[in-house]
Chain A
Amino acid sequence: SAVISQKPSRDICQRGTSLTIQCQVDSQVTMMFWYRQQPGQSLTLIATANQGSEATYESGFVIDKFPISRPNLTFSTLTVSNMSPEDSSIYLCSARGGTSGTRYEQYFGPGTRLTVT
């Protein structure tokens, strides 16, 4: 299975500022994703991070608010821009399609707990 790490693990930010979350996978993977999880809720997909091209965003999420980079097959970043208290959530990085697992199994990082004041 792929091991995924995220930085920071948590942060408290002021409204109007931006935070960039980093995601590192210990092996090359085909696909990387970013999810958001509100307290007590299920996971909502923000976007698919495409290597070398623009991310594919889900309905309700836009690039200006959540710019994503994926410069190679093991690393991605998600920026939460111009934050408001409604952005307080857990943000999770996910990956699939590594060489050590099946192409269908999808693994998750530990999450970044963001609080916006």
Chain B
Amino acid sequence: SQQGEEDPQALSIQEGENATMNCSYKTSINNLQWYRQNSGRGLVHLILIRSNEREKHSGRLRVTLDTSKKSSSLLITASRAADTASYFCATGYSSASKIIFGSGTRLSIRP
């Protein structure tokens, strides 16, 4: 079963704009990870954020975590055509547990 729900399900923006995707989950977590998947390819690990962290950055990516609202967001700044992909959040309960994937957001960047 899926722990997380992501919104929007699909997002289309102009190149250069910022893209924000949200992930909500139901039960308390230990960590949350964001992944990117290009069409027909494997998953690329983007960022992991621990439950005691509120924000992390990696290049043009910014991830926030609000444990009180049980939600996380992924912001991609200055989007590029190469950012076109599906983005998934995945929640983990401990270092020894499985991670559960959200439903994903399909991001399209218009030239």
Tell me if A111 counts as interface (CB < 8 A to partner B).
yes
Enumerate 27 A-B pairs (CB-CB under 8 Å) in ascending A order. Answer: A1-B45, A33-B98, A42-B2, A42-B101, A42-B102, A42-B103, A43-B43, A43-B101, A44-B101, A45-B100, A48-B98, A59-B1, A90-B40, A97-B95, A103-B95, A104-B31, A104-B33, A104-B50, A104-B95, A106-B90, A106-B92, A106-B99, A107-B45, A108-B35, A108-B42, A109-B42, A111-B41
User: Would A110 and B42 count as touching, CB distance under 8 A?
Assistant: yes
Tell me if A54 counts as interface (CB < 8 A to partner B).
no
Tell me if B88 counts as interface (CB < 8 A to partner A).
yes
Residues in B neighbouring A44, C-beta threshold 8 A: 101
How many A-B pairs with Cβ below 8 Å? 49
Measured as residues with beta carbon below 8 angstroms from the partner, the interface class of chain B is 20 to 34
Give the Cβ gap from B77 to chain A, nearest Cβ, in Å. Answer: 23
User: Would B40 and A92 count as touching, CB distance under 8 A?
Assistant: no
Measured as residues with beta carbon below 8 angstroms from the partner, the interface class of chain A is 20 to 34
Listed in ascending order, the chain A residues whose CB lies under 8 Å from chain B are: 1, 31, 33, 42-45, 48, 59, 90, 92, 97, 102-111, 113
Q: Indicate which residue in B43, B48, B96, B102 contacts A92 across the interface (CB closer than 8 Å).
A: B43
Give the Cβ gap from A4 to chain B, nearest Cβ, in Å. Answer: 8
User: Would B103 and A104 count as touching, CB distance under 8 A?
Assistant: no
Residues in A neighbouring B100, C-beta threshold 8 A: 45
Q: Indicate which residue in B30, B42, B104 contacts A111 across the interface (CB closer than 8 Å).
A: B42
Give the Cβ gap from A78 to chain B, nearest Cβ, in Å. Answer: 15
Contacts A1-B45, A97-B95, A111-B41; A104 near B101 (Cβ below 8 A): no
Residues in A neighbouring B48, C-beta threshold 8 A: 102, 104-105
Give the Cβ gap from B105 to chain A, nearest Cβ, in Å. Answer: 10
Q: Indicate which residue in A31, A45, A59, A105 contacts B45 across the interface (CB closer than 8 Å).
A: A105
